[in-house]
Structure 1
Amino acid sequence: MPRTGRRPGYSDTREAILTAARQAFAERGYDKASIRQIATSAGVDPALVHHYFGAKEQLFLAAMEAPIDPGKAIEQVVAGGLDGIGERLVRTFVTVWDSPAGTPAAALVRSAVSHDWSARMLREFITTQILRRVIGNLELDPNEGPLRASLVASQLMGLIMARYIIKLEPLASAPPETIVATVAPTIQRYLSGPLDQ
């Protein structure tokens, strides 16, 4: 029977929980993974998982080693509604990726390109922490929202690959304002324009 009390040390316990969480999120996805299952797998009481990480969302962000809390960033981006969303989204995106937070994020993307497990984790992160929030907060048509949000993700993932991973010039060294001015209209069209053109 697995132990349910405290483990020998903070870092050992925390790492055991994170290892179990990464496995659960990769295998079952964010929605189907539960704190109870993760705790059992880590050999700890579920209350200990909550003690170290709080809610499932915070555990997921820690397991992903997310450099920022996407919920807070998206909250600011969507606050103005659909009008001007493309510019706000791209500006926030470039600001985060050009900052020190972009380094661990780039490592995560590199890993996802070469490892199926990392790709599943990144897909869960994008779907549950970013796309769902965009769709929900902007109150997009439920029939179009998922497609619109995944089109936005495709554009931003392409930007990540070209500017931050491959470092394709002159895009890699282009000023942020140039990126915002050129990419934002496409993002705006994906979110608010007709999809049949």
Structure 2
Amino acid sequence: MEDKRDKILMVAVEEFADHGYKAASTNRISEVAGVSKGLIFHYFGSKEKLYTAAVTYSVDLAMQEVPIGDMPTGDFVQGAIWSTKQKLDFSKNYPAVFKLIMQSYANPPAALAERLHAYYMEALQVQDVYMNQILEKVTLRADVVSENAHDLVRALFDYIIKMATDYIRENPDATMEEMQPLVDKFMNMMAIVERGMIQKT
């Protein structure tokens, strides 16, 4: 029975990614998955809960395929390059999953917006883990307060996430490759934080 549940979830990811929450059809999901519509509601209870389960499944898969523990912590720029490559590969290997994650983050259904926002805020706490790992391994200048360095990098992460969210809202079908200019901007800004912006004479 778990195989049928997994099949429903995978088909639901495709359906929600392709059509969005409102236009997605549980009739199409049941037809493509080869199960009755009743079985879908037996497992998930409602279209809303099916959507939430599809998003959770997608994020779990992304975290499994791009484990934060494998990220290089030698410096900010190398970490950003690694992360970009992994996300690009993931978006190519799982296009519907990537699309659903982006859409549910930037344009969540109104009825689920608050719940999904809280869910993503919790998931994004891995940023703090990554930042702390890097800051623990680098040697800060004597006049740099560690807490201030952490807050600065966190602000940069928050800024780039806002930029990406705004971009996805305007371009809901954007691929990771199309978002590359934002990634390049982020890596350049990380390099500035790490190495400074004033040319010393």
- TM-score, with length taken from structure 2: 0.47
Largest Rg, 1 or 2? 2
- TM-score, with length taken from structure 1: 0.48
